[in-house]
Amino acid sequence: MKRVFLIAFIITTTTACTPSLDKAIDFSQGNAVDIVDTDIASVDASTSSVDLDSQVKVNDDVRLNINLAFNELKDLEGNELLAQNLGNCAPYASPQPYAFSGTSAGFSASSTAFSAYEHSIVLNSELKNLKNINQDVAIIVVDDFAGASSSVEGFNISKDIIVDLFDANDSTTWPIHGDVVLNQINLLLAASDYQFIRYNLLEVEGARAYWSHPNGNNIVIEALDFNNAQSQNIAKRLESSISNLQAEGYKNIVVNMSFAIVPCSVWNDYVAHIEQYKTIEEYAQAIYKKNEAALSTKIDLDIYGQNVILPELIFKLTTAINPLQDPLYKSLNNQKDVVFVASAGNFGNDFSTYPAAYPNVISVSALDLATKKKADYANTGNVLLAGGDFILEFINNGISKSNISYKGSSFAAPELSYIAALNLASGKRCQIVANKTDIGIAEFLDCN
């Protein structure tokens, strides 16, 4: 049976006669450009972002009580759950499968998964009007490489080891999240006119993959390991990486961020109990049980019980504390000539997690290739691109397949990072301001 690979851009519209986007995608100037005023703090400021009316009618007083009650929640060790002073962290994915993930994203074994390489061939055919590729571009993949960026090179030569460990259900040594994200970009390049040149390790914990185009331009992909997952440390490392690349002459830079930043206090508690609670949903249920007595003093749990509170609790657990004050946001906001792309998240919400929720970041949601619709697990983003299920494939003397499949908005974001890189390489000036939805890639790229 012939498989159909659907690529779509979903853009939020408002009314005609006014700019229709909250972000225009402008690859010529870097970043997403604000078209209308948006209050990004609203995602963090109230419970109105979450549909608490799905089970019972929730009035404003109850909403307020729920919000106040969350400020007093205790973690599973009895400490403050949402500790402001600890700031935000980017959850690293250890043990595997992806820690701090929704139940439907991550690794599995699937006989119905799509070939990421075949999908990459179809995508590249849609990019045919990207001509005159003649400018160098750097893509920085900020992700979890497990503190060992040498794994970037070793990933494609350790296929049998990875598959054997997966088959043995040794979840602590399954494929590293950053390796799979970077591999997704490499597969896109392998299916294009670009030729792989080499890997090399950097003096700090990082590595690069170099690709060359027949026209003479290069795309370099830099793997930037979290090292320390606190957002201020990620910000410093990213600033250094951008500065180094600019000093080397790279004027066109795309940053791919397939992660969320969440309260460090939540992440620390989750990691301490990860063997017992594998997913964020399971952990949230445990937090609810831990705090049930305290919650009952502020909320009538006979009426507004777990079904009402859990969606908002998951929202709180996965939302950055004081996002506008976070060092990573301040760092991104200072980089005016860089395109920032981030995965929307895998919690099924109608909004993105941070950093994807920031106005200078293009947020990418995951398209389910089987249903040709937004994946149930995927948060809503500015753009909808393929997130799987994909077969894990290895660029090793050709393309070799495994029995491992993966899916998530983490793997949709690299697709847009790749498209953005090709736009910059071809000198395109793409900016979407049309009042329409479902913009196809060919139309999207037909710009001056």
Per-residue pLDDT reduced to its tens digit, 358-370: 988 988 999 888 8
239 and 366 together in one domain: yes
The verdict on 71 and 200 lying in the same domain is: no
Tell me whether the omega of the peptide bond preceding residue 97 falls within 30 degrees of 0, making it cis: yes
Asked whether residue 34 is assigned to any structural domain, the reply reads yes
C-beta atoms surrounding 278 within 10 Å: 17
What whole-number distance in Å separates Cα of residue 290 and Cα of residue 206? 40
CATH number at residue 403: 3.40.50
CA distances (Å), 86 to each of 253, 261, 268, in order?
31, 12, 10
378 neighbors 365 (Cβ within 8 angstroms): yes
pLDDT at 36 over 80: no
Nearest-Å Rg of the Cα atoms of the chain is 21
Q: How many domains does the chain have?
A: 2
Q: Are strands 383-388 and 362-368 parallel, antiparallel or unpaired?
A: parallel
Tokens 């990573």 — which residue?
Answer: 328
- The rounded distance, in Å, linking the Cα atoms of 355 and 48 is 20
Write out the residue range of the structural domain in which residue 167 sits: 23-40+92-261+320-445
Contact 333, 324 (CB under 8 A): no
Local structure of 254: helix, strand or coil: strand
Query: In this structure, is residue 324 part of a structural domain?
Result: yes
Q: Report whether pLDDT(321) > 80.
A: yes
CA-angle at 124, arms to 123 and 127, nearest 5°: 100
Which one of 296, 317, 338 terminates a domain? 317
Residue 18 lies in a domain: no
Q: Check residues 303 and 317 and name the one with the higher pLDDT.
A: 317
Coil, helix or strand for 288? helix
Residue 296 confidence (pLDDT) = 87
Return the structure tokens found at 181: 């994200």
- Regarding whether 426 and 308 lie in a shared domain, the answer is no
How many Å apart are CA 375 and CA 365, to the nearest integer?
8
What are 368's two structure tokens?
Answer: 């389910």
pLDDT at 428: 64
For residues 333 and 354, state if they share a domain. Answer: yes
Angle ∠(22,24,25) on CA atoms, nearest 5? 135
pLDDT of residue 255: 96
Q: What is the mean pLDDT of the chain?
A: 77
Chain position carrying tokens 């792309």? 341
- Higher-pLDDT residue of 348 and 238 is 238
pLDDT band at residue 373 under the 50/70/90 scheme: confident
State which H helix or E strand residue 88 sits in.
Answer: strand 88-89
- Answer yes or no: do 289 and 436 share one domain: no
Domain boundary among the residues 297, 317, 337 is at 317
Is 241 in the same domain as 296? no
Same domain membership, residue 333 and residue 273:
no
Opening angle at CA 184, ends 2 and 280, nearest 5: 100
Are 315 and 101 in contact, with CB atoms under 8 Å apart?
A: no
Least confident piece of the model among 57-61, 292-296, 402-406? 57-61
For residues 294 and 386, membership in a common domain is answered with: no
d(CA 269, CA 287): 10
Element (H, E) at 183: helix 177-190
Parallel/antiparallel/unpaired status of strands 399-407 and 390-395: antiparallel
The verdict on 272 and 387 lying in the same domain is: no
- Give the mean pLDDT of 124-145: 86
Quick one: pLDDT at residue 88?
95
* pLDDT tens digits, 184-200: 999 999 999 999 998 88
Q: Is there a single domain that holds both residue 155 and residue 73?
A: no
pLDDT at 51 over 80: no
Q: Is residue 7 one of the residues assigned to a domain?
A: no
**Length of the chain in residues, anyone?**
448
- Name which of 88-102, 103-117, 223-237, 256-270 the model is least confident about: 88-102
* Other Cβ atoms closer than 10 A to 298: 16
Which letter does DSSP use for residue 253 in this model?
E
Please check whether residue 331 lies inside any domain of the structure. Answer: yes
Q: How far apart are CA 205 and CA 150, in angstroms?
A: 9
Position 180, amino acid: V
Judgement on whether residues 230 and 271 belong to the same structural domain of the protein: no
Residue type, 356: A
pTM of the model: 0.84
- Collapsing DSSP to helix, strand or coil, 222 comes out as strand
Residues 307 and 330 in one domain: no
Boundary residue ending a domain (272, 290, 317) = 317
* Spatial CB neighbours of 8, under 8 Å, sequence gap ≥ 6: 367, 384, 385, 438, 439, 440
Look at residue 180 and tell me if it is in a domain. Answer: yes
C-alpha–C-alpha distance, residues 275 and 262, integer Å: 20
Within a domain: residue 398? yes
Task: Report yes or no on 87 lying in a domain.
Answer: no
Confidence at 172, pLDDT banded by 50, 70, 90: low
| Closest C-alpha among 350, 318, 279, 355 to residue 82 | 318
